[in-house]
Structure 1
Amino acid sequence: MTFQITSVIGPVLVLDDVADGQMHLAALFIAPGTAPPPPVEVAGQAHPCTVLAHHDAATVWRARFALPADHSSEYAWNGDSYGVAGGLTGDLRMAYVSCNGEEVGDMERETSERNAMWERLRAEHRQRPIALLLHGGDQIYADEVTQGHPLSEDWPDRIPRDPSQGDLADLRRHLRARFLERYAALYAAPQFAWLAARVPSLMQWDDHDICDGWGSLPRSRTYSPVGQALFDVARDAFLVFQHAATDDDLPARFADPSGLHLGWAVDAPELRIVAPDLRGERTRRQVMGAGGWQMMEAEAARRAAGHSFLMSSVPLLGPRLSVLEALMVAIPSMQKYEDDLRDQWQSRAHRDEWRRMLTLVRDMAQRDGHDITVLSGEIHLATRATMELGGGLQLNQLVASGIAHRAPPRAWARTLGALASFGENPLPGHPIRVGRLPGQARRYVAERNYLMLERAAGSWAARWDLEASGMTEPLAL
Structure 2
Amino acid sequence: MIFGPILFLRAVHDAHVDLAALSCRPTGEPAGTLETDTGVAPARALMDVGGFTLWRHDFTLPTGGRPGYRFDGARHVVATDYGDVRLGFVSCNGEEHGDLDRAPDERNVMWRRLAEAHAASPYHVLLHGGDQVYADEATLGHRLSEGWPDAVPDAADPAAMEDLARHLRERFFERYAATYAAPGFGPLAAEVPSLMMWDDHDICDGWGSLGAVEETAVGQTLFAAAREAFLLYQHAAVAADVPALFLDPSGRSLGWRRDLPGVSIVAPDLRSERTRTRVMGPEGWAAFERACSDPAERVVIVSSVPLLGPRLSLIERAMRLTRRMERYEDDLRDQWQSYAHRGEWTRMLRAVLDLEAAGHRVVALSGEIHLAMRAELRADATPMHQLVASGITHRAPPKLWALALGTLARLGEAPIPDHPIRIRPLPGQRYNYTAERNYLTLARAGAEWRAAWSLEDSGDTPWLTV
TM-score range, shorter chain: over 0.9
> How do 1:361-440 and structure 2 match up within 5 A?
361-367=352-358, 369-390=359-380, 392-440=381-429
Count the aligned residue pairs. Answer: 466
Structure 1 residue matching 2:377: 3-state secondary structure: strand
Structure 1 residue matching 2:324: 3-state secondary structure: helix
Letter in 2 for 1:120: R
Which of 213, 222, 241 is residue 214 of structure 2 equivalent to?
222
- Counterpart CA distance in 2 for 1:175 and 1:20 is 42
Which of 268, 274, 278 is residue 286 of structure 1 equivalent to?
278
Aligned to 1:329: 320
Which of 151, 158, 168 is residue 175 of structure 1 equivalent to?
168
Alignment of 1:189 onto 2:197: no
Shift in Å at residue 23 of structure 1?
1.7
Structure 2 residue matching 1:414: 3-state secondary structure: helix
Aligned to 1:441: 430
Which of 63, 67, 72 is residue 73 of structure 1 equivalent to?
67
Aligned to 2:236: 244
Aligned to 2:42: 48
Letter in 2 for 1:371: R
Which of 72, 89, 101 is residue 94 of structure 2 equivalent to?
101
Shift in Å at residue 47 of structure 1?
0.5
Structure 2 residue matching 1:334: 3-state secondary structure: helix
* TM-score (norm: length of structure 1): 0.96
Are the counterparts in 2 of residues 262 and 277 from structure 1 also a CA contact under 8 Å?
yes
Q: Deviations over 1:432-463 (max 9, x none)?
A: 00001011000000000000111101211000
Shift in Å at residue 296 of structure 1?
1.9
Q: Deviations over 1:327-349 (max 9, x none)?
A: 21112111100000000000000
Structure 2 residue matching 1:434: 3-state secondary structure: strand
> How do 1:76-155 and structure 2 match up within 5 A?
76-88=70-82, 90-155=83-148
Structure 2 residue matching 1:389: 3-state secondary structure: coil
Structure 2 residue matching 1:356: 3-state secondary structure: helix
- Counterpart CA distance in 2 for 1:386 and 1:48 is 46
Alignment of 1:259 onto 2:251: yes
Aligned to 1:341: 332
Shift in Å at residue 395 of structure 1?
1.2
Are the counterparts in 1 of residues 142 and 167 from structure 2 also a CA contact under 8 Å?
yes
Aligned to 1:315: 306
- Counterpart CA distance in 1 for 2:16 and 2:275 is 38
Q: Where do 5+ consecutive residues of structure 1 fail to align? A: none
Are the counterparts in 2 of residues 386 and 432 from structure 1 also a CA contact under 8 Å?
yes
Percent identical residues: 53
Structure 1 residue matching 2:160: 3-state secondary structure: helix
Are the counterparts in 1 of residues 376 and 422 from structure 2 also a CA contact under 8 Å?
yes
- Counterpart CA distance in 1 for 2:274 and 2:162 is 25
Letter in 2 for 1:223: E
- Counterpart CA distance in 2 for 1:36 and 1:343 is 43
- Counterpart CA distance in 1 for 2:63 and 2:251 is 27
> How do 1:353-364 and structure 2 match up within 5 A?
353-364=344-355
Letter in 1 for 2:348: M
Are the counterparts in 2 of residues 245 and 251 from structure 1 also a CA contact under 8 Å?
no
- Counterpart CA distance in 2 for 1:38 and 1:162 is 43
Shift in Å at residue 260 of structure 1?
1.6
Are the counterparts in 2 of residues 101 and 141 from structure 1 also a CA contact under 8 Å?
yes
- Counterpart CA distance in 1 for 2:170 and 2:217 is 19
Shift in Å at residue 16 of structure 1?
1.5
Are the counterparts in 2 of residues 93 and 130 from structure 1 also a CA contact under 8 Å?
yes
Structure 2 residue matching 1:428: 3-state secondary structure: coil
* TM-score (norm: length of structure 2): 0.98
- Counterpart CA distance in 2 for 1:54 and 1:224 is 27
- Counterpart CA distance in 1 for 2:87 and 2:62 is 17
- Counterpart CA distance in 2 for 1:343 and 1:309 is 22
- Counterpart CA distance in 1 for 2:62 and 2:463 is 29
Are the counterparts in 2 of residues 263 and 292 from structure 1 also a CA contact under 8 Å?
yes
Shift in Å at residue 322 of structure 1?
1.8
- Counterpart CA distance in 2 for 1:251 and 1:117 is 35
Are the counterparts in 1 of residues 21 and 236 from structure 2 also a CA contact under 8 Å?
yes
Aligned to 2:450: 461
| C-alpha RMSD over aligned residues | 1.1
Aligned to 2:441: 452
- Counterpart CA distance in 2 for 1:457 and 1:227 is 49
Q: Where do 5+ consecutive residues of structure 2 fail to align? A: none
Shift in Å at residue 253 of structure 1?
4.2
- Counterpart CA distance in 2 for 1:50 and 1:473 is 44
Shift in Å at residue 44 of structure 1?
4.2
- Counterpart CA distance in 2 for 1:33 and 1:295 is 37
Are the counterparts in 1 of residues 259 and 296 from structure 2 also a CA contact under 8 Å?
no
Letter in 2 for 1:177: E
Shift in Å at residue 153 of structure 1?
0.3
Report which stretch shifted further, 97-106 or 10-19: 10-19
